């Protein structure tokens, strides 16, 4: 046994040996990974694996919601303390579990609308961004960048924002601002449910309802979060491939066989009464998923029979399953990135999505990618 523990690995490196036998360090790592693999295989439903998976995948995505200073999107801080009591420190009380049709989009109606956006000139692709009413910064960043791409490879692209009702003491003031913003930009859709994190499934289904009723002739639509960098050019290249179906198609970053989180301390806790299954059907991660526009009307229809639960992307997966469909991997699945770590012009020129942590990054990266002359890759 090496006396210095961890540094033993390092020391082995400098030992000169003409035959280079396997280093103890390497053997140890091999052993460790084998043990982990065996544990994962032996206890497929253990909480160890659940936690492990949670951290590896869900965590990287959803931690955006848990950061107290999260500057983008409908953060928990937008839940007004007056209408939604502060959750008890341990348990998150999600939506009422006894009302089957709570999430059904036709229960709500649009108070701000753009009824002719899709009719005057049918877009090929509609991008709809769920965003909190107060998050003007995110909307402006998107308007200045990928939301301003109206014609890509000869195809019309339309970007719209979906809002719920503002809550809290400033609700009325905020609503007036929303009305004014709509007059200026004509790109806001607003439905009359309370905008909150736990109501995101309602928001997604209201997006589907709008597409099904106001935009039936578009070919593809995408739900994309407000804290996303989107490379519309690459998305369009993908959609225009001859092998991409124009019907029954949903793609993005695929999530397979993910466990439903039963830990009441988790932000993604879903009680058994809300969803009995312990695994989600295959779904596409909520940061951004694109679908053929024949699906929204069918999602709205089947959602009548699928009990609401508060994980919007998995809920869309449940709608797909009910329709006898499944999301499809895109031709280059690696283009759907949650995090890249660090901005890299070459890599950004190749991806479709990437999560940013500040609205200003969308603008910075966009400017660098689009406005800097020269090839992005060396
Ligand atoms: C996941 O990782 C985070 C930080 O890396 C940690 O705070 C959290 O406790 C971990 N959760 C689980 C279930 O391992
Ligand atoms: C949608 O397409 C159909 C068939 O091509 C056409 O009759 C209809 O007018 C179109 N609707 C809109 C709103 O463009
Ligand atoms: C969108 O693009 C057009 C033309 O490229 C430009 O004139 C306009 O200022 C842009 N809008 C925003 C909000 O940046
Ligand atoms: C969701 O929206 C409904 C309709 O506005 C509202 O009654 C409910 O309180 C909201 N739920 C949460 C958790 O915000």
pLDDT in tens, 223-250: 999 999 999 999 999 999 999 999 999 9
Residue with tokens 């033993």: 8
Task: Please tell me the distance from the alpha carbon of residue 298 to that of residue 302, in angstroms, as a whole number.
Answer: 6
The residue behind tokens 């989600």 is: 280
pLDDT of residue 71: 34
The token pair that represents 202 in the structure block: 């309602």
Crossing angle of the two packed helices 171-185 and 136-144, in degrees rounded to 10? 10
Only one residue has tokens 């659940």, namely 50
Report the atom number in ligand 4 closest to the C-alpha of 196.
14
Residue reference for tokens 């209201």: 206
Give, for ligand 3, the residue of 148, 185, 371 to mutate: max count of ligand atoms closer than 8 Å to Cβ.
148
Q: Report the distance separating Cα 201 and Cα 205, nearest Å.
A: 6
What span, in angstroms and rounded, lies between the C-alpha atoms of 241 and 243?
5
Q: Give the CA radius of gyration of the chain.
A: 23
Say if residues 73 and 226 touch (Cβ distance below 8 Å): yes
From 217, 293, 297, the mutation candidate for ligand 2 (largest count of ligand atoms within 8 A of CB) is 217
For strands 254-255 and 283-284, give the pairing: antiparallel
Residue 132: CB atoms within 10 A of its CB come to: 25
pLDDT at 374: 86
Q: Answer for the pair 283, 255: CB distance below 8 angstroms, yes or no.
A: yes
CA-to-CA dists, residue 77 to 84, 190, 268, 329, 359, angstroms: 11, 20, 16, 35, 17
Residue 313 in contact with ligand 1 by CB distance below 6 A: no
Q: What is the pTM of this model?
A: 0.77
Mean pLDDT of the chain: 83
Kindly provide the residue ranges of all beta strands, DSSP E only, lying in the chain, ordered along the sequence: 110-112, 125-130, 151-152, 155-165, 188-194, 220-224, 228-230, 250-251, 254-255, 283-284, 288-292, 353-355
Q: Atom 7 in ligand 4: which residue has the minimum CA distance? A: 194
For residue 59 and ligand 1, the question of a CB distance below 6 A is answered with: yes
pLDDT tens digits for 310-319? 999 999 999 9
Pocket of ligand 3 contains residue 144 by CB under 6 Å: yes
Q: Residue 8 Cα, ligand 3 centroid: separation in angstroms?
A: 59
Contact call for residues 354 and 339 (beta carbons, < 8 A) = yes
Extract the tokens encoding 231: 């490379």
What pLDDT is stored for residue 14 in this prediction?
Answer: 39
CA distance 327 to 292: 11
368 φ, ψ to 5°?
-65, -40
SS3 assignment for 35-84? HHHHHHHHCCCCHHHHHHHHHHHHHHHHHHHHCCCCCCCCCHHHCCCCCC
Q: Choose one of 59, 64, 262 to mutate for the ligand 1 pocket test, by most ligand atoms within 8 angstroms of C-beta.
A: 59
Q: Which of 53, 61, 129, 36 is nearest to 311 (CA)?
A: 61
CA 151 to centroid of ligand 3, rounded, Å: 12
The predicted pLDDT at position 22 comes to 57
54 Cβ inside 6 Å of ligand 1 = yes
Structure tokens at 263: 């830990």
Is residue 53 within 6 Å of ligand 1 at its C-beta? no
Q: Which residues contact 158 (CB under 8 A, 6 or more apart)?
A: 117, 118, 123, 125, 126, 127, 150, 218
Residue burial 229-253, b: 16+ Cβ < 10 Å; e: rest: bbbbbbbbbbbeeeebeeebbbbbb
Which atom from ligand 4 is nearest to the alpha carbon of 194?
5
| List of residues 6+ apart from 76 with CB closer than 8 A | 65, 197
Tokens 């043990």, residue located: 35
- Whether ligand 1 lies within 6 angstroms of the CB of 119 is answered as no
Fold for 99-370, please state it.
Spore Coat Polysaccharide Biosynthesis Protein SpsA; Chain A (3.90.550)
Query: Is the CB of residue 248 below 6 angstroms from any atom belonging to ligand 2?
Result: no
Where exactly are the structural domains of the chain? 99-370
pLDDT of residue 30: 83
How deeply is 154 buried, as exposed, middle or buried, from its count of CB atoms within 10 A (0-12, 13-18, 19+)? exposed
Q: What's the confidence (pLDDT) of residue 75?
A: 33
Question: pLDDT below 70 — which residues of the chain?
Answer: 1-22, 24, 39-101, 340
Distance between CA atoms of 211 and 234, rounded to whole angstroms?
A: 23
């Amino acid at each position: 046994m090496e006396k210095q523990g961890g540094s033993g690995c390092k020391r082995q490196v400098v030992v000169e040996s003409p035959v280079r036998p396997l280093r103890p360090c390497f053997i140890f790592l091999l052993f460790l990974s084998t043990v982990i693999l065996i544990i994962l295989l032996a206890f497929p439903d253990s909480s160890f694996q659940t936690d492990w998976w949670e951290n590896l995948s869900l965590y990287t995505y959803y931690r955006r919601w848990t950061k107290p200073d999260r500057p983008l999107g409908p953060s928990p801080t937008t839940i007004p303390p007056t209408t939604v009591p502060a959750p008890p420190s341990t348990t998150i009380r999600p939506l009422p579990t006894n009302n089957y049709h709570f999430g059904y989009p036709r229960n709500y109606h649009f108070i701000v609308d753009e009824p002719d956006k899709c009719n005057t000139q049918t877009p090929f692709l509609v991008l709809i961004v769920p965003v909190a009413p107060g998050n003007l910064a995110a909307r402006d960043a998107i308007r200045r960048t990928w939301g301003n791409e109206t014609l890509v490879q000869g195809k019309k692209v339309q970007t719209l924002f979906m809002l719920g009702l503002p809550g809290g003491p400033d609700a009325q003031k905020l609503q007036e601002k929303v009305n004014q913003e709509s007059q200026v930009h004509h790109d806001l859709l607003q439905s009359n449910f309370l905008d909150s994190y736990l109501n995101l499934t309602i928001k997604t289904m209201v997006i589907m309802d709008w597409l099904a009723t106001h935009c039936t002739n578009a070919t593809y639509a995408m739900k994309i979060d407000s804290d996303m960098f989107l490379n519309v050019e690459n998305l369009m290249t993908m959609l225009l491939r001859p092998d991409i179906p124009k019907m029954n198609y949903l793609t993005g970053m695929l999530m397979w066989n993910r466990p439903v989180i039963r830990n009441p301390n988790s932000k993604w806790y879903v009680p058994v009464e809300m969803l009995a299954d312990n695994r989600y059907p295959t779904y596409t991660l909520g940061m951004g998923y694109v679908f053929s526009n024949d699906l929204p009307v069918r999602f709205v229809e089947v959602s009548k029979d699928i009990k609401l639960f508060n994980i919007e992307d998995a809920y869309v997966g449940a709608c797909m399953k009910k329709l006898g469909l499944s999301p499809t991997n895109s031709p280059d699945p690696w283009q759907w990135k949650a995090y890249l770590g660090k901005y890299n012009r070459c890599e950004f020129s190749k991806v479709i999505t990437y999560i940013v942590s500040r609205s200003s990054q969308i603008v910075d990266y966009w400017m660098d990618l689009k406005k800097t002359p020269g090839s992005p890759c060396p």
